[in-house]
């Protein structure tokens, strides 16, 4: 990811900041400039909950080049407890363990490294919540 784009994504990547439409309450992650529900342009920023559940999932066996060394890996659409939905890797879990409704929490992990200098990009990944 180019440095400028990476820098602009810091609030989402490191503080998990989402946007809530002040007109209709729709939530977006990453935040948007215009609400797709009501066309509103006013948003309030909030840090989303770290816990949620798996809505659907799959296993990636043929990833893009940046993730080639990680295959196979699990990816899920996760709905956080405040309604935000995001796509993320699911780690620290056997593929058979991942199911719809599985409680997860977001943790910061290494996502990928890039370039000859091996710049490491961090981000969030979902980890099962085990009681
Ligand atoms: Zn709205």
Q: Is the pLDDT of residue 115 over 90?
A: no
Query: What would the mean pLDDT of 107-113 be, rounded to a whole number?
Result: 77
Are β-strands 103-114 and 51-60 bridged in parallel, bridged antiparallel, or unpaired?
antiparallel
CB 121 within 8 A of CB 70: no
Query: What would the mean pLDDT of 63-92 be, rounded to a whole number?
Result: 91
pLDDT of residue 72: 94
Find the 26 Cα to ligand 1 centroid distance in Å.
5
Find the 4 Cα to ligand 1 centroid distance in Å.
28
| Co-location of 62 and 39 in the same domain | no
pLDDT of residue 41: 97
| Co-location of 14 and 75 in the same domain | no
| Co-location of 34 and 70 in the same domain | no
Find the 29 Cα to ligand 1 centroid distance in Å.
14
Q: Is the pLDDT of residue 9 over 90?
A: no
Quote the number of domains for the chain: 2
| Co-location of 103 and 117 in the same domain | yes
Find the 3 Cα to ligand 1 centroid distance in Å.
31
| Co-location of 115 and 65 in the same domain | yes
| Co-location of 72 and 35 in the same domain | no
* pLDDT, mean over the chain: 88
Q: Is the pLDDT of residue 5 over 80?
A: no
pLDDT of residue 2: 67
Find the 95 Cα to ligand 1 centroid distance in Å.
37
Instruction: Among 48, 63, 82, give the residue marking a domain's end.
Output: 48
Domain that holds residue 82: 49-131
Q: What is the 3-state secondary structure (H, E, C) of the chain?
A: CCHHHHHHCHHHHHHCEEEEECCCCCEECCCCCCCCCCCCCCEEEEECCCEEEEEEEEEECCCCHHHHHHCCEEEEEEEECCCCEEEEEECCCCHHHCCCCCEEEEEEEEEEEECCCCEEEEEEEEEECCC
pTM: 0.79
Find the 43 Cα to ligand 1 centroid distance in Å.
8
Task: CATH number of the domain at 93, please.
Answer: 2.40.50.840
Which is nearest to 23 in space by CA: 4, 42, 45, 10?
42
Find the 22 Cα to ligand 1 centroid distance in Å.
7
């Amino acid at each position: 990811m180019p440095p400028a784009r990476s820098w602009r994504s810091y609030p989402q990547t490191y503080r998990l900041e989402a946007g809530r439409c002040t007109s209709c309450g729709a939530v977006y992650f990453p935040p948007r400039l215009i609400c797709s529900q009501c066309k509103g342009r006013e948003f309030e920023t909030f840090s989303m909950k770290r816990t949620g559940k798996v809505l659907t999932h799959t296993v990636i066996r043929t990833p893009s080049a940046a993730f080639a060394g990680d295959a196979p890996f699990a990816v899920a659409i996760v709905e956080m407890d405040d309604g935000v939905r995001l796509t993320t890797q699911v780690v620290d879990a056997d593929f058979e363990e991942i199911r719809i409704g599985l409680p997860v929490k977001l943790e910061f992990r290494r996502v990928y490294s890039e370039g000859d200098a091996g710049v490491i990009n961090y981000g969030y990944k979902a980890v099962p919540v085990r009681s």
